[in-house]
Amino acid sequence: MRVINFNPGPAGLPLPALERARDELLDFQGSGMSVMEHSHRGKEYEAVHDEAISLLTELLGIPATHQVLFLTGGASQQFAQVPMNFLTPDTGADYLMTGVWSEKAFEEAKYYGKPRVAATTVQPDKHYTRVPRQDELKLDAKAAYVHLTSNNTIYGTQWHTFPDVGNVPLVADMSSDFLWKRIDVSRFGLIYAGAQKNLGPSGVTLVVADKAFIARGRKDIPKFFRYTTHAENNSLYNTPPTFAIYLVRNVLAWMKGLGGLEQMERQNREKAALLYGAIDRNSGFYRAPVERESRSVMNVVFHLPSEELNAAFVAEAKKAGMVGLKGHRTAGGIRVSTYNAVTVENVRTLATFMDHFVKTRG
């Protein structure tokens, strides 16, 4: 019996994508071996690799100016790889600070250049409850790039419109909201996202890079760390994480079969409406710290009146077959992560449980 999985990442995957993997785990398409036993230079694996890229290109509407890369090391490696490629000791980059992940990205940039805080919504208690407004950004037109975290997995805030940053390339950590809906990719210099929330297992990092932007990257850094190396070799410069990419392919094929990103967006908005609806109609019991315009569609954060009730909520939900609801240690309370594999039905079950919990324990 599968449980309802609200894990923040690694997260639940769509059952059809997993079943497909299971059914051919020992013998991939009659080849007599698992896909993970195939050479990354053989035609069987390369077809999977290329299909993953073309599905992503199609679903997201990636223009010819941009290229998909499969890297590793998670978003945390990108925190360092981005400034390694684009900063020098004398150049700056503008960071928009909206939580723990932006802070980590900012810290890594200091080893290569002069990152600046161009906006922050940090509060005196060090927490964040919203993203900055356009009029709060103090941008430097000479910055090498502007960096933002599109969705703040821990605090449950999200950029619903991306800021205007002029002609400076926009770099976005989309780890926790990549592929929940269509976006205008042409506005970004580089997008990165660990696969383990919306589109696969951990172990592969998706990058969508503006080819002209990465071509301007430093040449005096190791070949392995240059984006151009992976771009020129179609992410086959060295051995990629083939099985993780295969699973991403399975998830992308499932998304396409369901109706693509239009359908994902519809479902995700419906799921978020169900949860924020349950919070708001029980607002004397559930407290949502995030300001309304910054509420995340992916990670819904709320608090019950006491630590005991937070714990009881998690424990009773678990008995009802729902797991992964404990908030991050930094933010506390409850966090419901509703990535693409979580169904509207799953969320309806939780929303009903939330109403019921108020009646019995409120």
- Contacts with ligand PLP by CB under 6 A lie at 9, 74-76, 101, 149, 153, 173, 175-176, 194, 238-239
Residue nearest to Mg ion (CB): 99
Cβ 21 to a copy of itself, closest distance in Å? 6
Rule CB under 8 A: say whether 115 interacts with a copy of itself.
no
Are the C-beta atoms of residues 154 and 101 closer than 8 Å to each other? yes
Contacted entry of a copy of itself, ligand PLP, Mg ion, none for residue 173, CB cut-off 5 to 8 Å set by kind: ligand PLP
Tracing tokens 């800021």 back to the chain, one arrives at: 163
Q: Is 171 helix (H, G, I), strand (E, B) or coil?
A: strand
Binding-site member from 92, 115, 194, 327 for a copy of itself (CB under 8 A): 194
Report the C-alpha gap between 280 and 354 in whole angstroms.
11
Q: Which of 350, 202, 211, 212 is nearest to 277 (CA)?
A: 350
Contacted entry of a copy of itself, Mg ion, ligand PLP, none for residue 47, CB cut-off 5 to 8 Å set by kind: none
Rule CB under 8 A: say whether 222 interacts with a copy of itself.
yes
First to last CA, the chain: 31
Contacted entry of a copy of itself, Mg ion, ligand PLP, none for residue 107, CB cut-off 5 to 8 Å set by kind: a copy of itself
Which residues in the 66-85 window bind a copy of itself by CB under 8 A?
72-77, 79-80, 84
Q: Is 76 annotated as a binding residue?
A: yes
User: Known catalytic residue: 210?
Assistant: no
Kindly state the DSSP code that residue 139 receives in the 8-state scheme: -
Contacted entry of a copy of itself, ligand PLP, Mg ion, none for residue 100, CB cut-off 5 to 8 Å set by kind: Mg ion
Stretch that binds a copy of itself, among 8-16, 134-142, 166-174, 301-309 (CB under 8 A): 8-16
Cβ 64 to ligand PLP, closest distance in Å? 28
Report the C-alpha gap between 138 and 129 in whole angstroms.
20
Report the C-alpha gap between 98 and 103 in whole angstroms.
8
Gyration radius of the chain's alpha carbons: 21
> Which member of 197, 210, 271, 326 is catalytic?
197
Contacted entry of ligand PLP, a copy of itself, Mg ion, none for residue 50, CB cut-off 5 to 8 Å set by kind: none
User: Known catalytic residue: 254?
Assistant: no
Of 128 and 286, the one with the shorter C-beta distance to Mg ion is 128
Non-local CB neighbours of 240 within 8 Å, separated by 6+ positions: 40, 49, 70, 72, 204
Which sign, positive or negative, has the C-alpha torsion 221, 225, 226, 228? positive
The stretches of the chain forming alpha helices (DSSP H) are: 15-23, 43-60, 74-86, 100-109, 211-215, 227-232, 242-258, 260-281, 307-319, 344-361
Active site residues: 101, 173, 197
> Residues comprising the binding site?
41, 75-76, 101, 153, 173, 196, 238-239
